Chains A and B, each alone.
Chain A
Amino acid sequence: MKEIVINPITRIEGHAKVVIHLNDDASVRDARFQVTDFRGFEKFCEGRPYYEMPSITSRSCGICPVSHLLASVKACDQIVAVNVPTTAVLLRRLMHMGQIIQSHALNFFHLSAPDFLLGMDADPATRNIFGLIAKEPEIARQGIRLRKFGQEIIENVAGKKIHSSEWVVPGGAKWPLTKQRADYLLSNLPEALTITLKTIAMFKEWLSSCTEEVETYGDFPSLYMGLVTADGGLELYDGNLRIVDNDGKTAVDHVNPDKYYDDIGEAVEPYSYMKFPYYKPLGYPDGMYRVGPLARLNVCSHCDTPLADQELKEFKKLGKNGIVQSTFHYHYARLIEALFCVEKTKELLSDPEILSERVCRRVYVNNYEGVGIAEAPRGTLIHHYKVDPQGMIQKVNMIIATEHNNLAYNKAVTQVAQKYVKAESLQEGMLNRVEAVIRSFDPCLSCATHAVGQMPLEVQLIDSHGKLLDRKIRSPL
């Protein structure tokens, strides 16, 4: 048996490697997506006061810290058992919109656009955001501006762009939003909307020219999971879990997130620091499901903002029974979500209640367990805590958006490898396509395992007796 190793996978939020196992005839047997680092949040939080959890777990991830803050604080809200003031909920939602806008902009412009706009076979030294600035300065600038808009929402609501953990407190929020800040955000909104609409139009035009990618980028059936509103609409902060299958049939609906463990189990493989969640009724590994933008658009019936809803209708036509299954369409789904969030931002900022000064309740421990759930940019994020009567953390379980997709990654990577990788000639573009499929999922390995660990790209050919036949290290430039 031979194997090819791609290490590290770059331009994703985190580091991982892919090991491709070959058959004796050099065809691809399977491919494994391996995650190579781990920090241990679930252990070292034990013994800490529950109200420190938002700030500690925020540090799981610098890309979606807000999602961690919110999932964590919602678990804490259950522990203190109070009704969070309406205004605090509006502000948390607003902050979350900013989070998703900035994260989706980052993935599209900073990490993925170099592939679309500079070409899959472009020189790796320039196929990045700086190459984009050089070649397509206007598009790069728009991407930077859109991400900035998202980050500024977070900053204006919570005081800091990254890890704004002081503002997020159990029972509400630390301080209200001033009119001046709300007006500032509103003044930047038209530009954000224009950029988003323009990008969607540009992407759709480009989409028509890449049928091949659509068909080979993880185009396979699976289950899909996401939160929905009471009437089945797209929802990112609250709501209930819904899981649908590939024919658009709902497997489970209106699941109270507190009971996530009735449906979701976690498995371990020896080659990865990322666990493999699966849908319990179908067992492991058959219970493969996907989360994130594509899954969310598959599980919801509508968006309750006009422009995004229009796009959603068009998007659903790409699949049978309203289920779009190619992983490549995560990109498209992300842009639709970004549009939804920009529209929602306007709606939230126009709510007179958002400037109210009552944003927090006094709190103390009333329950010894809490589950907090939110839709992070990359999918459903679950924080589950148990505390003692003094509020000291006894047990923590976190299931991270990226982890849910773990089974699907392996499937998608295998599919691409089978089509593009030929052991006799390893070309940049081929290996890059393996990476690009992972990039289209937009994994955040920082979250999932705090994965890093880079080594040179090394291609190893190993025969069935484990003997090294050939070893190639790709030169950097």
Chain B
Amino acid sequence: MTVGTVKLKIDNVEVAVPEGTTILEAAKSNGIDIPTLCNLEGLSGYGGCRLCMVEIHGSPKLFAACVTPVGMGMEVITQSDKLREYRKMAIQFILSERTHICAVCVANNACELQKLANDLGVDHVMFEREWTRLPVDSTHDFLVLDRNRCILCTRCLRVCDEIEGVHTLDLKMRGKDAQVIIDLDEDWANSSSCTSCRKCAKVCPVGAIYVESVALEETKDKGIAEFVLSRRNRK
């Protein structure tokens, strides 16, 4: 069975990609940059952060590029004033939840959320902030989970399940109150499934999961999932 080719326009550029490709992948492979936060190469799509929203000609609603497959003849817009405002608002929603204080965060200057806010010109948050004071789990030998900084992108859950294969991490509760839990909501030190592989800390875009007393730029590795997959699939 051969995979067909789909032709579409992205920002008025004709592109051709294999069937089943997402708009995000199609844009990326043609050098068009769409901002993302929850997406990571090598992990399944999630569509949680709403930063990669794009316009599709003929539809009034916006689509998350990371989970929308391409269609024949689609005309996709990735940059417009409407989208810029929308993305700025998405960043502000994320910043208004929990307690994001860049100045005193371990991730300061190495944080994807902070960088996106800067790139998009988000200079304040129009919504009232939540100011959570959730306890920090520092029981593990070297991994720390600070839920006050978690943006619920679930990269850690996906890398733990899909790449490491142990599914130690999951979520409890719903909506903005959802929280990352370890096994059946234990302290990290008591986890029977965690292999201490650090992949969660490597992929966390912010300062929510990190390796204690190691500089974040030394820990972070956005390519880890793709790298492991490439080794795993060696014939």
**Distance between Cα atoms of A390 and B142 in the complex (Å):** 11
Segment at the B interface, from A30-38, A166-174, A298-306, A446-454: A166-174
**Would B103 and A390 count as touching, CB distance under 8 A?**
no
Q: List 17 A-B contacts (CB under 8 A).
A: A47-B136, A49-B136, A49-B146, A49-B212, A51-B212, A52-B106, A55-B103, A55-B104, A55-B108, A166-B109, A170-B213, A171-B213, A362-B213, A390-B139, A391-B138, A392-B135, A392-B138
In this complex, what residue of B is CB-closest to A160?
B109
**Distance between Cα atoms of A391 and B146 in the complex (Å):** 13
**Distance between Cα atoms of A364 and B109 in the complex (Å):** 24
**Distance between Cα atoms of A47 and B131 in the complex (Å):** 14
Q: Which residues of chain A are near B144, meaning CB under 8 Å?
A: 49
Query: Is the C-beta of B125 less than 8 angstroms from some C-beta in chain A?
Result: no
**Distance between Cα atoms of A222 and B106 in the complex (Å):** 44
Majority secondary structure of chain A interface residues (helix, strand, loop or mixed): loop
Query: Is the C-beta of B215 less than 8 angstroms from some C-beta in chain A?
Result: yes
Query: Is the C-beta of B133 less than 8 angstroms from some C-beta in chain A?
Result: yes
Q: How many residues of A contact B (CB 8 A)?
A: 21
Q: Which residues of chain B are near A56, meaning CB under 8 Å?
A: 104
Query: Is the C-beta of A163 less than 8 angstroms from some C-beta in chain B?
Result: yes
Give min CB distance, A161 to chain B, whole Å: 14
Q: Which residues of chain B are near A363, meaning CB under 8 Å?
A: 213
Q: Which of B104, B133, B212 contacts A47 (CB 8 A)?
A: B133
In this complex, what residue of A is CB-closest to B134?
A47
**Distance between Cα atoms of A363 and B142 in the complex (Å):** 10
Residues of chain B whose beta carbon lies under 8 Å from any beta carbon of chain A: 103-104, 106, 108-109, 133, 135-136, 138-139, 144, 146, 212-213, 215
**Distance between Cα atoms of A390 and B146 in the complex (Å):** 13
Query: Is the C-beta of A59 less than 8 angstroms from some C-beta in chain B?
Result: yes
**Distance between Cα atoms of A56 and B135 in the complex (Å):** 17
**Would A49 and B138 count as touching, CB distance under 8 A?**
yes
**Distance between Cα atoms of A174 and B104 in the complex (Å):** 16
**Would A364 and B212 count as touching, CB distance under 8 A?**
yes
Given contacts A55-B103, A55-B104, A165-B104, contact A47 B135 (CB under 8 A): yes
User: Which of B103, B104, B133 has the most chain A CB atoms closer than 10 A to its own CB?
Assistant: B104
Query: Is the C-beta of A48 less than 8 angstroms from some C-beta in chain B?
Result: yes
Q: Which residues of chain A are near B212, meaning CB under 8 Å?
A: 49, 51, 364
**Distance between Cα atoms of A51 and B135 in the complex (Å):** 15
**Would A52 and B213 count as touching, CB distance under 8 A?**
no
Contact with B along A162-186 (1 / 0, CB 8 A): 0101100111001000000000000
**Distance between Cα atoms of A56 and B105 in the complex (Å):** 9
**Would A48 and B109 count as touching, CB distance under 8 A?**
no
**Would B213 and A174 count as touching, CB distance under 8 A?**
no
Give min CB distance, B228 to chain A, whole Å: 27
**Would B213 and A48 count as touching, CB distance under 8 A?**
no
**Would A59 and B136 count as touching, CB distance under 8 A?**
no
**Distance between Cα atoms of A73 and B215 in the complex (Å):** 17
**Would B103 and A48 count as touching, CB distance under 8 A?**
no
Q: Which of B108, B136, B139, B215 contacts A48 (CB 8 A)?
A: B136
Contact with B along A104-139 (1 / 0, CB 8 A): 000000000000000000000000000000000000
